[in-house]
Structure 1
Amino acid sequence: MTHHIGVVEDDSNIQNIVSAYLKKEGYEATIMESAEKAWELWETRRPDMWVLDIMLPGMDGYEFCKKIRQESDVPIIIISAKDDEVDKILGLELGGDDYLTKPFSPRELVARIKRLFKRAAPADGISQESHDRIKVDNLLIHENDRRIFWHGEEQVVTTKEFDLLLLVAKNVNRAFSREELLIKIWGEDYFGSDRAVDDLVKRIRKKLTDISLETVWGYGYRLRSEEEHP
């Protein structure tokens, strides 16, 4: 299957370079210069991923990212000339999965796209065997096909929400520091602050009401359970 990527960027040079690299890698790319046109595409033919500039005419990238996140967990890579940490954190808190600062290498963009698709894709040959399922109290995780159930109801979660839940469910009652979670969920090359961890946990708690994802004050988080787990 050919992945369809929506690129929202008003710089024609960047449009041409990114489009050429994506097509060379076998992706289908739709290039748009405004968030308004991107939203029109979203309503008619949804891309499998967005590459989104922040500084756009009309609706900016932050607002567009927020609108998309209200409807879908489709991967979003934010690109921006803004290099301030607060801008990076804001982009990630609004639901961006990755952030690249201009100028960037097209090869690095392609590598990050591949990594996000790999993390978001279900495993081949989905198994229903019990060893592919992790249950902690009312939380059930189907690891292979990356599905989350809470009190028996399937929940829509983002890639990072799934990764964090899987990590803490496999290590029940173990406390993870914010730094550990940044490395394990975002990767060792992540450049933002640990506020991204707090925001991710906040989003999970909002979706999975009353989950025992506890704050370890001054340190990090753990998934608490009184049941016995292997």
Structure 2
Amino acid sequence: MALREVPRVLVVEDEPVINDAVADRLRAEGFAVDQAFDGPGAVALCEQVRPDAVVLDVMLPGYDGHEVCRRIQASRPVPVLMLTARDDEADVLVGLAVGADDYLTKPFRMREVVARVRALLRRVDRAAELAAAPSARLVAGDLVVDTGSRRVTVGGSEVHLTPTEFDLLARLAGSPGEVLTREHLLAEVWDWPDASGTRTVDSHVRALRAKVGPERIRTVHGVGYALESGEVAP
């Protein structure tokens, strides 16, 4: 997905005060912004304006944010930052499972929204550059990561990952057995300049384990994660 010269962001939030505040801040930062206030309107507007990124609240009338995310991702891949009022791991994992790339828990700071959106867009640019580069097959046991086609197979069966899950797995597979810190993963996968989102790494690892097998990613408590080719205790 090639970004426009002025990236377009769709803000989906049913509370007008919050919606306007997020939209105004993003416009002040130089983004083109569209606004939707319910699920069906968000899906229709996303199809119409084809945004470069979506800021999406979980609790919406019509369709909830998870259903909106599922529908817009089925139409075309687009990076999604989900806003949730509940700091609930299950709620976060559902959002990641339907294609969200990142999440913020309310209340949040506007500068954090802007920073997360910028990081999502930088990752889109970087993914396009990697797609144009020579592909590589990263192999760990019966797990195969093809960076060119962005496909993953386990035991010969294809596993469907979100863009963020693929990037995370590819980075771990690029250094099999090596323990990568959460801060390192945040910098390389999420392109975040600081370590304020280490829980995001943990949530994505949990989602990734559910798809490729919990024994493949080893936790080094207090440090980070490593990809293993054989069965190890998580």
Is the structural similarity TM-score above 0.5?
yes
Partner of 2:21: 17
Cα–Cα, structure 1 residues 39 and 22, in superposed 2: closer, same or farther, change >3 Å? same
Answer yes or no: is the 8 Å Cα contact 1:141–1:149 preserved in 2.
yes
Partner of 2:65: 61
Partner of 1:209: none
Paired residues for 1:191-210 under 5 Å: 191=199, 194=202, 196-203=204-211, 205=212
Answer yes or no: is the 8 Å Cα contact 1:55–1:80 preserved in 2.
yes
Paired residues for 1:97-176 under 5 Å: 97-122=101-126, 132-136=134-138, 139-142=145-148, 148=150, 158-172=162-176, 174=177, 176=179
SS of alignment partner, residue 92 of structure 1: helix
Q: Which runs of 5+ in 1 are unaligned?
A: 206-211, 226-230
One-letter amino acid of the counterpart of residue 134, structure 1: A
SS of alignment partner, residue 70 of structure 1: helix
Give the distance between the partners of 1:156 and 1:85, measured in 2 at CA: 21
Bigger radius of gyration:
1
Q: Give TM-score, length-normalised by structure 1.
A: 0.71
Deviations along 1:137-174, one digit per CA (max 9) or x if unpaired, are: 664424xxxx52579xxx996431332243134224x2
Cα–Cα, structure 1 residues 124 and 54, in superposed 2: closer, same or farther, change >3 Å? closer
Deviations along 1:184-218, one digit per CA (max 9) or x if unpaired, are: 64663332584531422545x5xxxxxx9962677
Give the distance between the partners of 2:127 and 2:55, measured in 1 at CA: 24
Report the CA distance between 1:222 and its aligned residue.
2.8
Answer yes or no: is the 8 Å Cα contact 2:217–2:228 preserved in 1.
no
Q: Report how many aligned residue pairs link the two structures.
A: 209
Give the distance between the partners of 2:67 and 2:131, measured in 1 at CA: 38
Q: Give TM-score, length-normalised by structure 2.
A: 0.70
Give the distance between the partners of 2:111 and 2:126, measured in 1 at CA: 25
Answer yes or no: is the 8 Å Cα contact 2:209–2:216 preserved in 1.
no
Greater displacement, 48-57 / 72-81? 72-81
Give the distance between the partners of 2:88 and 2:129, measured in 1 at CA: 43
Partner of 1:222: 227
Give the distance between the partners of 1:140 and 1:66, measured in 2 at CA: 25
Cα–Cα, structure 1 residues 123 and 32, in superposed 2: closer, same or farther, change >3 Å? closer
Q: Which runs of 5+ in 2 are unaligned?
A: 154-158
Q: Per residue, is there more helix in 1 or in 2?
A: 2
Give the aligned CA root-mean-square deviation in angstroms.
3.7
Report the CA distance between 1:11 and its aligned residue.
1.2
Cα–Cα, structure 1 residues 64 and 135, in superposed 2: closer, same or farther, change >3 Å? same
1:4 to 4, 8, 13: 8
Answer yes or no: is the 8 Å Cα contact 2:216–2:228 preserved in 1.
no
Greater displacement, 49-58 / 156-165? 156-165
SS of alignment partner, residue 147 of structure 2: strand
Cα–Cα, structure 1 residues 128 and 58, in superposed 2: closer, same or farther, change >3 Å? closer
Give the distance between the partners of 2:208 and 2:114, measured in 1 at CA: 25
Give the distance between the partners of 2:42 and 2:132, measured in 1 at CA: 38
One-letter amino acid of the counterpart of residue 205, structure 2: V
Greater displacement, 159-168 / 44-53? 159-168
Cα–Cα, structure 1 residues 218 and 81, in superposed 2: closer, same or farther, change >3 Å? closer
